[in-house]
Amino acid sequence: MPAATKVRSPAVTQTRAAEDYLEQIHNLIEAKGYARVVDIAQNLSISQASVTNMIQKLDAEGYLVYERYRGVILTESGRRVGKAIAKRHDILTRLLTSFGIDKDTVHKDVEGMEHHISKSTLKVLTLILEELEGNAELLKRLKKKME
């Protein structure tokens, strides 16, 4: 193994921040067909300079392609990460919202949890959500226990 490989710092994409970027970029592309630095900065409440900095790292690691005038395009691996986080975000948000938890709390909790749950845990939560969404009686009964 070449020496340069050994001293390489951990991949930036293994961080929570990188996952948030890929999630936002994925959402923007889904909604608008493209993702610009200005929109990413706004959605993440981060300066455009910081966004450009992170995007260059993600580009170098092969998660996206950044073209100054066209904006950001996700590669296959970037899309995989962005989509997975967006999916966790959606399932967790729907599950907590169905219990009537307030929007701010849901948002705060989901933004943390979406980076930590495994594939199998997500599967369990998805099954519970589907069951609850199809069974108003059960949801009502559970919600009553929260009072």
Contact positions vs Zn ion (CB under 5 A): 89, 114
Q: Shortest Cβ distance from residue 18 to Zn ion (Å)? A: 13
**Of the two residues 97 and 135, which places its CB atom closer to Zn ion in the complex?**
97
| Position with the least CB separation from Zn ion | 89
Rounded Cα distance, 131 and 32, in Å: 32
Token pair listed for 84: 């997975």
**Of the two residues 26 and 89, which places its CB atom closer to Zn ion in the complex?**
89
Rounded Cα distance, 16 and 115, in Å: 6
Rounded Cα distance, 55 and 85, in Å: 17
Q: Shortest Cβ distance from residue 110 to Zn ion (Å)? A: 6
* Inter-axis angle of helices 136-146 and 119-133, nearest 10: 110
Amino acid, single-letter form, for residue 120: S
**Of the two residues 39 and 114, which places its CB atom closer to Zn ion in the complex?**
114
Q: Shortest Cβ distance from residue 91 to Zn ion (Å)? A: 11
Rounded Cα distance, 64 and 83, in Å: 13
**Of the two residues 5 and 14, which places its CB atom closer to Zn ion in the complex?**
14
Q: Shortest Cβ distance from residue 23 to Zn ion (Å)? A: 5
Rounded Cα distance, 58 and 71, in Å: 13
Q: Shortest Cβ distance from residue 117 to Zn ion (Å)? A: 12
Q: What value, to the nearest 5°, has the Cα angle with vertex 85 and ends 82 and 87?
A: 105
**Of the two residues 79 and 139, which places its CB atom closer to Zn ion in the complex?**
79
